[in-house]
Structure 1
Amino acid sequence: MNEKEFELNDVVEMKKSHPCGENKWKIIRMGADIRIKCLGCNHSVMLPRREFSRKIKKVLERADS
């Protein structure tokens, strides 16, 4: 499968939306695990990198732009 490219501070869209109704997440920590923060309610979630790669749909905004 094609490896998706994402970096710190990117805004991403996940396959499933958060219970608050928002589907935009900001990547706030990267390593073996990735921490993302919901842009609707500011709740943060930590996922293993492999699971995050499966659940990401697309990158909406790049950090550098």
Structure 2
Amino acid sequence: MPKDYSVGDRVEFKKTHPCGGKTWEILRVGMDFKAKCETCERVIMLARNKFEKSVKKKL
């Protein structure tokens, strides 16, 4: 069952980013997710299924 995410939500991933950050801000929602690392501000795009597997919890 898909979870409800919206633009502006903050999420924590299971694995840490190479910069050491774990929290991300969602910038785009759809078939792909665009998220920005809150530590180094790197922007990534992930497919919906990969994104939902990677999320540990919604903050």
* TM-score normalized by the length of structure 2: 0.91
Distance in 2 separating the partners of 1:58 and 1:7: 14
Stretches of structure 1 lacking an aligned partner (at least 5 in a row): 61-65
Aligned equivalents of 1:40 and 1:15: distance in 2?
16
Aligned positions, number: 59
1:41 aligns with 2:40: yes
Distance in structure 2 (CA, Å) of the matches to 1:11 and 1:38: 10
TM-superposed deviation, 1:13: 0.1
Q: Where does structure 2 lack aligned partners over 5 or more consecutive residues?
A: none
How far apart are 1:9 and its partner, in Å?
0.6
TM-score by length of 1: 0.83
Q: CA deviation at 1:4?
A: 3.1
Moved over 4 A (4+): none
Deviations 1:7-29 (CA, angstroms, capped at 9, x unpaired): 21101000001100010000001
Q: What is the Cα-based RMSD across aligned positions, in Å?
A: 1.1
Question: Whose radius of gyration is greater, 1 or 2?
Answer: 1
Distance 1:3 1:17 in 2: 23
